[in-house]
């Protein structure tokens, strides 16, 4: 189930105007995100309670000095959800994801019409991929992390 806490008609990323404030550290990754990015980069993720992008000075490890994204063509699903960010994810009888709008974004109300159907597809994909990763973690956490070449930070 996907729940939108907010609505938006139009949005465009104007990262230069807000200093790319959405690009913080700790963006949650799915296993497929990790595998896709690891084809080109190494040492970019950590595992705390979930698989996340590392940060650098409180920002995303892939945010360049010119504020552009180093992984633009293959960025994580969570980044593709913009202008929405993940507020909460729960798994039970039915997987649940709650999305909220990025706070104080200068691109709100500007640019193209937001494709809510595409956001829903991405959120569903995120839930599905995370659920598969959680199953693998519950079966053999240490083996899974070893396979990914990561250490648990717990």
Instruction: Report domain extents, the chain.
Output: 2-148
101 in helix, strand or coil? strand
Mean pLDDT of the chain: 92
Contacts of 74 (CB under 8 A, 6+ apart): 36, 37, 40
pLDDT band at 152 (very low <50, low <70, confident <90, very high): low
Range scoring the smallest mean pLDDT among 36-45, 129-138, 143-152: 143-152
Burial class (CB in 10 A: 0-12, 13-18, 19+), 87: middle
pTM of the predicted structure, to 2 decimals: 0.90
- Looking at residue 142, its pLDDT comes to 87
What mean pLDDT comes out for the span 67-92?
A: 94
pLDDT of residue 144: 86
């Amino acid at each position: 189930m996907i729940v939108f806490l907010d609505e938006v008609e139009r949005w465009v990323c104007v990262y230069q105007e807000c200093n790319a404030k959405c690009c913080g550290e700790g963006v949650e990754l799915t296993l497929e995100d990790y595998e896709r990015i690891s084809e080109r980069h190494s040492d970019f993720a950590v595992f705390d309670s979930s698989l996340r992008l590392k940060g650098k000075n409180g920002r995303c490890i892939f945010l360049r000095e010119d504020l552009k994204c180093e992984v633009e063509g293959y960025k994580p699903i969570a980044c593709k959800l913009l202008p929405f960010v993940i507020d909460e994810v729960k798994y039970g009888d039915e997987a649940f994801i709650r999305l909220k709008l990025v706070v104080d974004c200068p691109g709100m109300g500007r640019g193209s019409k937001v494709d809510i159907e595409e956001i829903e597809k991405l959120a569903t994909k995120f839930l599905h991929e995370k659920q598969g990763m959680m199953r693998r973690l519950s079966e053999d956490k240490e083996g899974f992390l070893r396979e990914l070449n990561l250490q648990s930070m717990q």
